[in-house]
Amino acid sequence: MADTVWQKCLARLEDELSPEEFNTWIRPLQARQHEDGLTLMAPNRYVKQYVEANFLPRVREHLAGYDETNLLDLEVIVGSATTDAVPLRADGTGRPCIDLNRDFTFDAFVEGKSNEIAKAAAQSVADEAGRRYNPLLLYGGVGLGKTHLMHAVGNRILEDQPDAKVVYLHSQRFVQDMVKALQLGTMQEFMQHYRSVDALLIDDIQFFANKLRSQEEFFHVFNALLERGHQMVLTCDRYPSEIDGLEERLKSRFVHGLTVEVEPPELETRVAILMKKAEAEGIDLPQDIAFFIAEHVRSNVRELEGALKRVLANSRFTGRRVSIEQVRHSLRDLVARQERHLSIDAIQRAVAEYYNIKTSDLLSKRRSRTIARPRQMAMALAKELTDHSLPEIGEAFGGRDHTTVLHACRKIAELKATSSDVAEDHRNLNRQLTGG
């Protein structure tokens, strides 16, 4: 009945208001009729207040026009009729349980040089949950598969112990839930919930930065779980000591167990990822097409998979077979952008800006380390990100010999393995240049 009354009212409001007003303020409202009247649920306080101030008299007037609603009380509250669709825990705490993604398993994780150590560490933790390395901290740039490995640990624990309480959530969700618990006066229940889990998986802990109360509460949860030998897996976009606004005691605890970096995948791994994902979709992706996509999406796995989804969705919609031409069409913005921008000039400008030197320094004969290292970095990036040959690259760097370029590529590869600073510079520049 609420639907009927509300639907009638909606139809009139849609006629009276501009589409923007209707879609912004009226469409998000959900109606629920009860014995005493009609309740409109707004998604937040902001919408509630706006609706009350601007539309409530008009809604009341319309409702009064319907015989069956003459006696209805009308109120606007903050809430949602669909919130219940989020699975609630069976333990009666009423706290939402975000299910693990069942597709994120170790089998589905494509291993390469960039992530093999992280995978081995995660497997080891999953096989001996709470006993070997606690916590496991996976860190590295965005979209590299940290969340996948984290879910894989959770899924493996559930395989071995189907009754285990494994909770996965994003750190922002922890903060939001804690704020709600504080508002509702249910902090004890909140803390009890997290302290009682068998395994806690928290994504992107860098978002705890500057949230002192959240850090305080999480510190207690952390200690309680550690004392009981319950496994924790954390992810972060950088090494915790580099997070500003994070308490020192948390920084040291986060790296108390095993800390492993996940690095961007190299070309062959990106190709393998694409082929595996396509196979999972029932598509036999030719290798040359996988290479084509992988060469154009270098920044991270998430964007690589996003590109593949776009290609496959377009192929399904148009009925066109996946081909280089079809991929070029599906990813035309991305391909055009890369082909337009990734010249040696662009790389030189980006590197010079990054190291705060002049572009002309890169082309000069100067051999001081402050110039030579950026020059080697720029040469290595030019080799990785463009199709230019070694002599062409050498020519573009003040007429140098191709062996100089080769030496630069080898030197940077060597330094990436031995110096975290160089590795990070390379990663940052690569991302910057490829739109990651």
Partner 1 sequence: MSQIREQLALRFPLRRRCTFVEFESGANAELVARLAAPVTAFLCVWIAGDAGSGKSHLLQASCASVNARGGAAAYVPRELVAEGAQVFDGLEAMDRVAIDDIGDWLGQPAVERGLLALYQGLLDRGRSLVVAHTDVPAAVAFALPDLASRMRAAAIFRIAPLDDEGRLRVMTRTASARGMMLEPGVAEYILRHGPRSLEALLGLVDRLDARTLARQRRLTVPLVRELLDEIRDPPSP
Beta-sheet pairing, 30-34 with 37-42: antiparallel
Roughly what angle, to the nearest 10 degrees, separates helices 267-280 and 301-318?
Answer: 40
**Is position 240 an interface residue for partner 1 (rule: CB under 8 A)?**
no
- Find where tokens 């062996």 sit: 403
**Exactly one of 37, 43, 130, 286 binds partner 1 (CB under 8 A); which one?**
43
Say whether 319 sits in a helix, a strand or coil. Answer: coil
C-alpha distances in angstroms, 19 versus 15, 27, 123, 189? 9, 10, 53, 43
Using the contact rule CB under 8 A, the part of the chain among 66-74, 105-113, 190-198, 326-334 near partner 1 is 326-334
**Is position 184 an interface residue for partner 1 (rule: CB under 8 A)?**
no
**Exactly one of 225, 274, 334, 422 binds partner 1 (CB under 8 A); which one?**
334
**Lateral strand order in the sheet of 231-236:** 166-170, 199-203, 231-236, 136-139, 258-261
**Exactly one of 223, 318, 389, 403 binds partner 1 (CB under 8 A); which one?**
318
Q: Which C-beta is closer to partner 1: that of 29 or that of 275?
A: 29
**Is position 19 an interface residue for partner 1 (rule: CB under 8 A)?**
yes
**Exactly one of 52, 111, 237, 295 binds partner 1 (CB under 8 A); which one?**
237
The 10 Å CB-count burial string (b at 16+, else e) for 408-418 is bbebbeebbee
**Is position 403 an interface residue for partner 1 (rule: CB under 8 A)?**
no
Contacts of 146 (CB under 8 A, 6+ apart): 118, 138, 139, 140, 203, 235, 262
**Is position 40 an interface residue for partner 1 (rule: CB under 8 A)?**
no
Q: Which C-beta is closer to partner 1: that of 60 or that of 337?
A: 337
Minimum Å gap between C-beta 300 and partner 1 is 6
* Amino acid occupying residue 18: S
- For residue 34, what is the enclosing H or E element? strand 30-34
**Is position 140 an interface residue for partner 1 (rule: CB under 8 A)?**
no
Here's the x/- map for partner 1, 242-281, by CB under 8 A: it reads as ----------------------------------------
Question: CB-based burial of residue 70 (10 Å sphere; 0-12 exposed, 13-18 middle, 19+ buried)?
Answer: exposed
Adjacent-strand bridge partners of 200:
167, 232
Residues that bind partner 1 (CB under 8 A): 14-15, 18-20, 23-24, 27-28, 30, 42-47, 78, 80-83, 85-86, 96, 98, 141-143, 170, 172-173, 176, 204, 207, 237, 299-300, 302-303, 305-307, 309-310, 313-314, 317-318, 332-334, 337, 431, 435-436
